[in-house]
Amino acid sequence: MAIIVQKFGGTSVGDIVRIQNVAKKVKAELDKKNQVIVVVSAMSGVTNQLVSYCHEVSSLMSDDALAEYDSVISSGEQITCGLLALELQSIGYKARSFLGWQIPMKTDDVHSKARIDSIDGDFLLNSLKTHDVIVIAGFQGVHGDSGRIATLGRGGSDTSAVAIAAAVKADLCDIYTDVDGVYTTDPRITNKARKLNKIAYEEMLEMAYSGSKVLQTRSVAMAMAHNVRVRVLSSFQEVTEESGTILVNNEEEIMERRVITGISYSKNDVRITLSRMPDHPGLSAAIFGVLADKEVNVDMIVQSASVDGKFIDITFTTATEELSRAKSALDSISDQIKYEKISIDENVAKISVIGVGMVSHSGVAHTMFKTLAEKGINILVISTSEIKISVLIAKEYGELAVRVLHTAYELDK
Amino acid sequence: MAIIVQKFGGTSVGDIVRIQNVAKKVKAELDKKNQVIVVVSAMSGVTNQLVSYCHEVSSLMSDDALAEYDSVISSGEQITCGLLALELQSIGYKARSFLGWQIPMKTDDVHSKARIDSIDGDFLLNSLKTHDVIVIAGFQGVHGDSGRIATLGRGGSDTSAVAIAAAVKADLCDIYTDVDGVYTTDPRITNKARKLNKIAYEEMLEMAYSGSKVLQTRSVAMAMAHNVRVRVLSSFQEVTEESGTILVNNEEEIMERRVITGISYSKNDVRITLSRMPDHPGLSAAIFGVLADKEVNVDMIVQSASVDGKFIDITFTTATEELSRAKSALDSISDQIKYEKISIDENVAKISVIGVGMVSHSGVAHTMFKTLAEKGINILVISTSEIKISVLIAKEYGELAVRVLHTAYELDK
């Protein structure tokens, strides 16, 4: 008898018929005599509606406002977890729902993007003794001191599910979504994309970070930290042994070694270049310090000095939605950093090739640069990690780059 | 500095513009240096939608199901109280919302129609010391032992508001709704209906019970029990000294004595007659016992015996929505009570004349019977209390009866 956590996203619980379909997926696990904890998102569209109500009455700039915002938007998951519990009761199970504060799932007080501090796993395991199945509202917890509802930020239900799986030492955490697994690249870009049966946590982390929307970065990091076996699969297909993609520990489980696991692609980046700044110690610290203070996430960074060493240019990328925050942060220190010009280019795409095998194989970067050069694609910025190489290119070449790299790294079917 | 509880119903918070309008009503009280606690319902339509979702997945027959139902439908008030707190913050106040479990407002565990056990009034008064205004989700509490959300039944937000007003010893509990007060009768039936400036608790209770929908019976009973000064007024009009109708203690405040205060009218009754039952001791007890067991609320009752005393007929009325429950209850004891025939008449209206002055004035009933007789209106059933006379008549005469009685009791403008 295994303990299984099943998480269903917004499209999977988008209406009553789909909630009834979810109940069938739960039943399938119960029929196998597994113990099941279900985590649900809000019905698709509901959270957006609630967020938009909040924006109509508030600029949401204060902590007090964000606490109210959390209380409002957490109601979406409250609705679906109650409805799923009702449906499970209707098909004959002793089911009950739990909201974040009822467990409790304790968080810090950073409302609208809270972090989980603790989950009472024993409480959940005891509840499983007196119920056939329990259903938990994802995305929400409660701040221990204030007793106020706190939400985990967009996509936080994945994080809820993985954290709950860690707290009860679940054998598997199944994340049901509207795609049937993790692909070598986005199948909408090339029909040669293949579903991966397994992927290492680190690879999934880089994929999520580099633009793959299948799982939230945070949930993958948490799965890796707590060694939670996570499987991504479709809620609209029958589940078989072959279904989905499972996240595993690299050393232990991925036997057949491949160099590159996948290629991710993001069109959501903007390149900002600060030109001809008088160089002095602490210049970079000033720039990236103020950006960090304003919570601008910087991705790629390139610095180049003028021939005489007196001036430098700094280029970095960030997400498009953080552009206005980045600009006002830089404005606030323009006296100090004295750039001659600031250039902003939203017409860029980021392509990342990812694979833990990269560590032990040379020539990966060379293949990338050569392949792109052959198609006349100019590389604007490069950044690398142990298991990833990302390049920034002109947006118009994005899909082409993905397709040629998919072939070059032998990922085609 | 007075403590004011303001309650806003579903139509008053029906959209964002209306919530902003509610904030202005709150501001008006704060400008007068009053301490304000606001209680809100769900946006109109939201609770109905959530109830209908629940019915799609469950017959809601078990306590477990009703607990889930409560958790789902309580989210409507969670949304509005957060949005109103946000709007109040946006116009410059330190505002915060409280859900039932955060206060806590403790209830029993009769889910979907829970009763309030206790409210931590000191907690609310302390919160008022650190906030300009607090906003509370109506309709919901939490069961002390299980920690589960419980709702108070339809219209429960009125009851929440009055109970909170009692707990903090508020000087006034303003119930904002879509009508501007309590009228001598329904203004849609006669344009001679007048708004009452004051009404005694007992009169309001009989009015609510007899068909007036302005306030819930429970909230009036609670106001009477705790001597809470309740005012009913419109959220769509400017508030002046003349606004609304205030509920007061009869002896103390209603100086100008009138015999009849108002006439209420209900088309929601059904008359059931059980004919020619062999009389025996315990017959009535058997009938009304089984009806009580099945939670059928019986209103008027008439019993008549045959000339030889061997057979009796019993007629009673109940609400239309309880008819099928009543029939199955009676079926279950048909062997025992052996009625020859059961007649059901839904084509009836109940007219009630209400007034605390009735106690000290004779001839009130006579005026009623004479007035109806003059118009050829036949009385089917009569019931009386100390401050009320109700008659059941054919539905088609309902509006006519209200109009002629309104004139006969000198209630016309």
pLDDT tens sequence across A55-75: 999 999 999 999 999 999 999
Tell which wins on pLDDT, A239 or B67: B67
- Which chain B residues contact residue A140 at CB under 8 A? none
Backbone φ and ψ of A346, nearest 5°:
-95, -5
What is the longest distance spanned by two Cα atoms in chain A? 79
Q: What is the 3-state secondary structure (H, E, C) of chain B?
A: CCEEEEEECCCCCCCHHHHHHHHHHHHHHHHCCCEEEEEECCCCCHHHHHHHHHHHHCCCCCHHHHHHHHHHHCHHHHHHHHHHHHHHHHCCCCEEEECHHHCCEEECCCCCCCCEEEECHHHHHHHHHHCCEEEEECCEEEECCCCCEEECCCCHHHHHHHHHHHHCCCCEEEEEECCCCCECCCCCCCCCCCECCEEEHHHHHHHHHCCCCCCCHHHHHHHHHHCCCEEEEECCCCCCCCCCEEEECHHHHCCCCCCCCEEEEECCEEEEEEEEEECCCCHHHHHHHHHHHCCCCEEEEEEEECCCCCEEEEEEEEEHHHHHHHHHHHHCCHHHHCCCEEEEECCEEEEEEECHHHHHCCCHHHHHHHHHHHCCCCCCEEEEECCEEEEEEEHHHHHHHHHHHHHHCCCCC
- Which chain A residues contact residue B96 at CB under 8 A? 64, 67-68
**Chain A: residue whose CA lies nearest to B75:** A75
Stretch A235-245: mean pLDDT? 90
Q: Quote the pLDDT of residue A241.
A: 86
Question: Interface pTM (ipTM) of the complex?
Answer: 0.85
- Which chain B residues contact residue A97 at CB under 8 A? 68, 71
**Does A89 reach chain B within 8 Å, measured CB to CB?**
yes
Which residue reads 């019905």 in tokens? A43
Q: Which of residues 1-30 of B touch A (CB under 8 A)?
A: 16, 19-20
Contact state of B89 with A99 under an 8 Å Cβ cutoff? no
Backbone φ and ψ of B342, nearest 5°:
-120, 125
Backbone φ and ψ of A303, nearest 5°:
-125, 135
Backbone φ and ψ of B393, nearest 5°:
-135, 175
Q: Quote the pLDDT of residue B304.
A: 86
Q: Quote the pLDDT of residue B256.
A: 57
Range with lowest mean pLDDT among A147-161, A354-368, B13-27: A354-368
Contact of B51 with B73, CB cutoff 8 Å: yes
**Chain A: residue whose CA lies nearest to B18:** A57
Tell which wins on pLDDT, A299 or B165: B165
**Chain B: residue whose CA lies nearest to A57:** B87
Please report, for residues A72, A148, B25, the alpha-carbon distance to residue B79 in angstroms, rounded to integers and kept in the order given: 5, 14, 19
Read off the pTM. Answer: 0.87
**Chain A: residue whose CA lies nearest to B73:** A79
Contact state of A50 with B94 under an 8 Å Cβ cutoff? no
Q: Quote the pLDDT of residue B13.
A: 96
Tens-level pLDDT at each residue, chain B (413 residues): 899 999 999 999 999 999 999 999 999 999 999 999 999 999 999 999 999 999 999 999 999 999 999 999 999 999 999 999 999 999 999 999 999 999 999 999 999 999 999 999 999 999 999 999 999 999 999 998 999 999 998 779 999 999 999 999 999 999 999 889 999 999 999 999 999 999 999 999 998 888 777 888 899 999 999 999 999 999 889 888 889 999 988 766 665 567 899 999 999 999 999 999 998 888 888 999 999 998 898 999 988 887 787 899 999 999 999 999 999 999 999 999 999 999 999 999 999 999 988 877 778 888 999 999 999 999 999 988 888 999 999 999 999 999 999 999 999 97
Percent of chain A with pLDDT over 70: 98
Q: Quote the pLDDT of residue A278.
A: 92
Q: Quote the pLDDT of residue B302.
A: 87
B57, B76, B85: residue with CB nearest A87 = B57
Contact state of A79 with B53 under an 8 Å Cβ cutoff? yes
Contact state of A87 with B59 under an 8 Å Cβ cutoff? no
**Both structure tokens of A170:** 């679940």
Q: How confident is the model at residue A226 (pLDDT cuts 50, 70, 90)?
A: very high
Q: Write the pLDDT tens digit of every residue in A329-341.
A: 999 999 999 999 9
Q: Quote the pLDDT of residue A252.
A: 64
Stretch A319-330: mean pLDDT? 93
Contact state of B79 with A83 under an 8 Å Cβ cutoff? no
Taking one residue from A and the other from B, the number of pairs with CB-CB distance under 8 angstroms is 112
Half-sphere exposure for B167 (CA within 13 Å, toward CB): 23
3-state secondary structure at position A234: strand
**Chain B: residue whose CA lies nearest to A75:** B75
- Which chain B residues contact residue A64 at CB under 8 A? 89, 94-96
- Which of A20, A71, A77, A120 would you mutate first to test chain B, the one with the most B CBs within 10 A? A71
Q: Write the pLDDT tens digit of every residue in A81-108.
A: 999 999 999 999 999 999 999 999 999 9
- Which chain B residues contact residue A85 at CB under 8 A? 68
Q: Quote the pLDDT of residue A135.
A: 98
Domains, chain A, with CATH or none:
3-178 (3.40.1160.10)
